Amino acid sequence: MITLNAKDLTIQHGEIQIDQGESESTIKSSDITLDADKERVTLTFGQQIKQTEKAVLILSFQGLLHGDMQGFYRAKYKSSVEASPAVPFIDGHHYMLSTQFEPTDARRAFPCFDEPNLKASFQLHLECPMGLTALSNMPEVNRTASEREGHDVVTFDTTPVMSTYLCAWAIGEFEYIEAFTEKTYNGQNLPVRMYAIKGLAQKGQLALKLALQALDYLSEVSLFLI
């Protein structure tokens, strides 16, 4: 059995691929049980899973776009400028999508070991309507047309090892303002951006200024702690 954290998710299928050196074997789950109170899902397999240095767990699942700023959620706003037709418009409001995983709400977006002391690296692929911006923890490395008409698939670089609550992404019609740190890191001044919905980025000047100061200050604190 494999037990993961999951909340408000429907797990439809699970299988594990075992790397056995010269060959691979796939074991499909025989039963999927959700414990809503403990926010856990358990996948049972019909045979013993052999110990191996590499195994890949593949899951198919569905979740909800919440409206309460938890997990993977939708946020409504009234645009101050003409919005792209790709931006959802419902009952007089436009919508963007974002995440809030602290402290343990990543489990509302995808099944995972959602405990702060369990860490992993993440590589995200986001499908979004053409013309919208997709953001995540790491820089975008590739954008290709999706098989779904009118959509792109955006691939981001792999993150450092980190807790699930630090993983993040957002999709919407964004714009940004940018400045550079005073301190240099590996000989370079780092770019820092403040993103906002289209038409409001210039209102983020104070946020950008404070972000630059915080980054330089915290880098010194981190060095001292090390």
- Across the chain, which distance is largest between two alpha carbons, in Å? 59
Write out the two tokens for 12.
């439809």
Distance separating alpha carbons of residues 161 and 113, to the nearest angstrom: 13
Q: How far is CA 215 from the centre of its chain?
A: 22
Question: Given pLDDT bands bounded at 50, 70 and 90, which one contains residue 223?
Answer: low
Alpha helices in the chain (DSSP H): 205-225
Q: What is the mean pLDDT of residues 118-141?
A: 96
Residue 76 is encoded by which pair of tokens?
């409504």
CATH of domain 64-172: 2.60.40.1730
**pTM of the predicted protein model:** 0.89
Q: How confident is the model at residue 220 (pLDDT cuts 50, 70, 90)?
A: confident
Every domain of the chain and the residues it spans = 1-63, 64-172, 173-226
Pull the structure tokens for residue 91.
Answer: 């009952």
Which amino acid does the sequence have at 196? Answer: A
- Tokens linked to 174: 């964004």
| pLDDT tens for each residue of 72-124 | 999 999 998 999 999 999 999 999 999 999 999 999 999 999 999 999 999 99
Q: What angle do CA 139, 189, 181 make, to 5 degrees?
A: 95
CA distance 78 to 196: 13
pLDDT digit string, tens, across residues 175-213? 999 999 999 999 999 999 999 999 999 999 999 999 999
